[in-house]
A and B are shown apart, each in its own frame.
Chain A
């Protein structure tokens, strides 16, 4: 049973470009969470999705950030018009029906030049 998959593992963008981060949850998991880790910091919750629904987006910046988890395919975290402050590691986690166990992917490290 493969774990949570994220790609790309490393992404470099110039200021103003778009970044698209992908997450495939563990098999059988229908709940996906995105977290952001800034250097020397813990993880900060961004958004919680189930298939085709956003359940909690209280941690998402109001502008430029969006997330989706379509019926088919991976969850996507999209950052438009990236700025240097978006440079961070973005982690995806998934869980089965019970929210209490969240399993994390290896992360995507975004660098904005």
Chain B
């Protein structure tokens, strides 16, 4: 079945850029997503990208997609302490019925 992999931890200083990476296995995934989860809370949809795009920018967030390498990244510019959370990468499954999630990357921002 499809798999989504992400590194588990990232630590940055306030004001720096953060880059969270993700790889997926199913090249037929049409949509790829980034969600944010704060402690004890649900998932907040940050952004998503359609597979025929290679970049999407939304304020401080930039998503890069390398479809050939099946690699997705999320860049957060000017990272703030409020960005500390778990970030999940997800891919829409082949049937188009469900999201396949990675295990999440814990982003820690120090001041």
- Residues of chain A having any CB pair with chain B under 8 Å: 4, 33, 35, 40-45, 48, 55-56, 58-59, 91, 93, 99-107
Contact = CB atoms under 8 A, between A and B. Distances in A.
A42 B92 contact: no
A91 B99 contact: no
B43 A55 contact: no
Interface stretch (B9-17, B54-62, B73-81, B101-109): B101-109
Given A101-B48, A103-B45, A105-B42, A56 B35 contact: no
Interface of B: 4, 30-31, 35, 41-45, 48, 88, 90, 92-93, 95-104
19 contacts: A35-B99, A40-B103, A42-B4, A42-B102, A43-B88, A43-B90, A43-B101, A45-B100, A55-B97, A56-B97, A91-B43, A99-B97, A100-B30, A100-B48, A100-B92, A104-B35, A104-B44, A104-B45, A106-B41
